[in-house]
Amino acid sequence: MKVMKKPIKEIQIVPVKPNNGLVAFCSFTLFDSLYCGSIGVFTRPAGGYRLVYPTKLTGNREMNIFHPISKQIGQHIEQEVIKKLEEVMKDDRYSSSDNL
């Protein structure tokens, strides 16, 4: 799949008080056509961040609501979201966990 120049726009980051690796939620628009929200941003044990896409519990089974199909677009989304997260976290309001 060839990635368009700017498939991800309007990235919003909402930092949360860190809890079991969760540090923020994010949303964005994809290809100017689809809103994607409620995506968890977690720290990786070895450093960095990963995205966790929403699921719905139906009975005893977790069902994916949405997630990237190709590795290429998944990595692109992750890179763009992490870039925005790092910008937001530079803000003095979020530089200390005491302020969350």
Consecutive 10-residue runs of the chain (100 residues): their mean pLDDT? Answer: 75 96 97 96 96 96 96 96 94 57
How big is the chain by its Cα radius of gyration, in Å? 14
Please tell me the predicted confidence (pLDDT) of residue 93: 67
| Strand boundaries in 3-92, DSSP class E | 8-19, 22-30, 34-43, 49-52, 55-58, 61-64
Whole-number pLDDT of residue 99? 47
pTM for this structure?
0.84
Residue 100's pLDDT is 45
Can you identify the CATH homologous superfamily of domain 8-91? Stage V sporulation protein G (3.30.1120.40)
Q: Where are the domains of the chain?
A: 8-91
pLDDT at 90: 87
Residue 96's pLDDT is 55
Task: Determine the pLDDT at residue 2.
Answer: 58
